[in-house]
Amino acid sequence: MDTTTRNLLVLKILSSGFRARDLDTKEIVSVKTRAYKVAILDTVVFLESKRWQFNQTTYISGEVQSNAFSLDSLEIEGHDYDEGESHSTTEYYERSELKGLLGACLKGGKRPSIEFHDYTGYGFYGRDSDPVFEAADSIDPSRRYDILTKLWEEFPQCIDALAHIANPYVSSKFFYRNAENCYRAAIAIAEKKLPPDFDGITLWSCLENRPYLRALQGYCILLWRLGRFAEAEELACKILRRNPPDNQGVRFIIDEIHNKEPWTED
């Protein structure tokens, strides 16, 4: 039997396999295989043994040889941004509040702020439409997933789609790699054009910064749930430095993470 090795990026998990982009040819294919260990955004080395066409969809079948997450496979342009005013943490806190872990995370003087350009889903398919809001309003999990994966495939700079794809996966360790892959990809895309030593502010009050901050928070919570406390604490501190006003309430959980208290629903 003739076989061909394919390098694939998983775009969507299906009941009988996954939808993927061939990293060499850029072709979109529907893969029929046993793929219970494969996660969305994994890079898969796939041994193709059969190929066929039905309607406008190309199908392939075969065996997964290996799979792992790789940022290099994303090949997505990073987010542009505008520079704004500099801010000090004392704009948001009394000096007496800046102690303990909060004070350690927010130490230093004024730091410059940035505002990402608009990479939200609003208006992508038409005026006054927003697939992310549409997905959030749907009571059907499958429909939500279909809307968000379609949006991200067609608009891969829309990291809000990735964050919302990830969120339902956080509640199960069996699916945590799906969530982790999406959060890591979203954060990497947003930060791709930032200087390596960037230590600026991305305020929640700037609407275009919110998808990035949501991805950071989602990943922090995931790491905490998984008991990866050191990573979760580092990320919690990063969120506080990025958005000192802390609209997401990270200051209320960072001590629990630092003390290695298990995550709970409360």
The residue extents of the domains of the chain are: 4-73, 81-258
pLDDT value at position 174?
81
**Where does 81-258 sit in CATH, by number?**
1.25.40.10
The stretches in the chain having pLDDT less than 50 are: none
**Where does 4-73 sit in CATH, by number?**
2.40.50
pLDDT value at position 138?
93
Instruction: Provide long-range contacts, Cβ within 8 A and 24+ apart, for 119-122.
Output: 119/79, 119/155, 119/157, 119/158, 119/159, 119/160, 119/208, 119/211, 120/158, 120/160, 120/207, 120/208, 120/211, 121/151, 121/155, 121/158, 121/160, 121/161
List pLDDT tens digits, range 230-249. Answer: 999 999 999 999 999 999 99
pTM, entire model: 0.95
pLDDT value at position 233?
98
pLDDT value at position 1?
57
